[in-house]
Amino acid sequence: MSSAAPTVVTERIPKFIADKARLLTEVGIDRAKGEIELALCYLLNCKRLDLYLHGYDILTDDARSRLDGIIQRRIKREPLQYILGESWFYGRRFRVTPAAMVPTPETELLCEKAIRYVQRCDMKKPHLLDIGVGSGVIAVTMALEVPECSIVALDISPDALNVARSNAAELGAMNRIGFIESDFFAAIAPHERFDLILSNPPYIADGEYDELPPEVKADPPVALLAGEDGLNAIRTILRDAPKFLAPGGRIIFEIGYDQGERVTRLTESDQRYRSITFIKDYNDYDRIVMLSCD
């Protein structure tokens, strides 16, 4: 009989989460249950397992009220990451603000590919370039996963650079990253060379903007839009990156789900490019491009 009470307590949390998630599902938000879990873990400062084991015991009236406030903002399709002011990337918590786009799982694939390339080539002190650093997830992740690397991180937005700097400082990567305000390669010295040039550039066509989900529209337009066909930023990278690539280096960047064939044609018309490889995302779309040069 004495064990009945704890069982009742632990059973309340799944129903509580399901009831709150239903409010998000009704307005078309996917993965609503996961979002409620994230919000509760944030409010209660606990891990998911602890949430289900002990959550109802520590779910205060204040936490309930704050959760309801978060739900009301999500119903208006404000990104959860901006509401909480944080986003998890490669197992680390990053501060995020509307000054920089919300990190995505596809960018984790880019980092994974870059890390593996460094390891496979046994690079001792690789020099990396991150074009469009945003919140700093690529630069900081590479700095922490490849401890002997040095990184130059560029962004045209001073506000985004401030977010990236704060994340680098918070996560202990500041001493390996130099942050520079720059429009693509404009601030890079002509003689500087990099073993990896990385980017999650804008790749959405201007005409597609109105059709984007509200959560995506919350990202800064400068981080999303890339001209009439969505390839302006990629063209700039393809045109200028080989000038700054060290021998044996690679250019690795993200593309839109339907841009693989067009990017291939762009590289075929440029004799400097020797090979192109595509890495598929979790939905089986070509998402990451890896290029080598002569």
Contact 29, 35 (CB under 8 A): yes
What is the distance between the alpha carbons of residues 270 and 21, in angstroms, rounded to a whole number?
50
Does 56 lie in the same domain as 8?
yes
Q: Residue 79 is which amino acid?
A: P
What is the distance between the alpha carbons of residues 277 and 24, in angstroms, rounded to a whole number?
39
Predicted confidence at residue 54, as pLDDT, reads 84
What is the distance between the alpha carbons of residues 266 and 259, in angstroms, rounded to a whole number?
11
Q: Which two tokens stand for residue 46?
A: 């606990």
Q: Where are the alpha helices (DSSP H) in 219-258?
A: 232-240
Half-sphere exposure of 130 (CA within 13 A, CB side): 30
Does 104 lie in the same domain as 72?
no
Number of domains making up the chain:
2
Does 124 lie in the same domain as 65?
no
pLDDT one digit per residue (tens) for the chain, 294 residues: 444 444 334 458 899 999 999 999 999 998 999 999 999 999 999 989 999 988 878 889 999 999 999 999 999 999 999 999 999 999 999 999 999 999 999 999 999 999 999 999 999 899 999 999 999 999 999 999 998 999 999 999 999 999 999 999 999 999 999 999 999 999 999 999 999 999 999 999 999 999 999 999 999 999 999 999 999 999 999 999 999 999 999 999 999 999 999 999 999 989 999 999 999 999 999 999 999 998
pTM (two decimals): 0.91
Does 200 lie in the same domain as 165?
yes
Question: Which of 288, 292, 260 has the alpha carbon at shortest distance from 275?
Answer: 292
Does 63 lie in the same domain as 104?
no
Q: Which DSSP letter does residue 85 get?
A: T
End-to-end, the C-alpha distance of the chain in Å comes to 75
Question: Which of 168, 131, 173 has the alpha carbon at shortest distance from 148?
Answer: 173
Does 142 lie in the same domain as 47?
no
The CATH number of whichever domain residue 217 belongs to comes to 3.40.50.150
Does 216 lie in the same domain as 155?
yes
Does 179 lie in the same domain as 72?
no
Burial letters for 115-131: b for 16+ Cβ neighbours within 10 Å, e otherwise? bebbeeeebeebbbbbb
Among the candidates 20, 44, 76, a domain finishes at 76
- 87 in a structural domain: no
Q: Which two tokens stand for residue 6?
A: 């704890």
- 85 in a structural domain: no
Predicted confidence at residue 157, as pLDDT, reads 96
Question: Which of 241, 200, 242 has the alpha carbon at shortest distance from 222?
Answer: 200
- 158 in a structural domain: yes
- 86 in a structural domain: no
Among the candidates 45, 61, 76, a domain finishes at 76
Predicted confidence at residue 56, as pLDDT, reads 78
What is the distance between the alpha carbons of residues 66 and 39, in angstroms, rounded to a whole number?
9
- Supply the range of the domain harboring residue 169: 99-293
Strands (E), the chain: 86-89, 92-95, 127-131, 150-155, 177-181, 194-199, 245-254, 273-280, 286-293
Predicted confidence at residue 57, as pLDDT, reads 83
- Contacting residues for 233 by C-beta, under 8 A, at least 6 apart: 132, 184, 201, 202, 203, 226
Does 55 lie in the same domain as 188?
no
- 84 in a structural domain: no
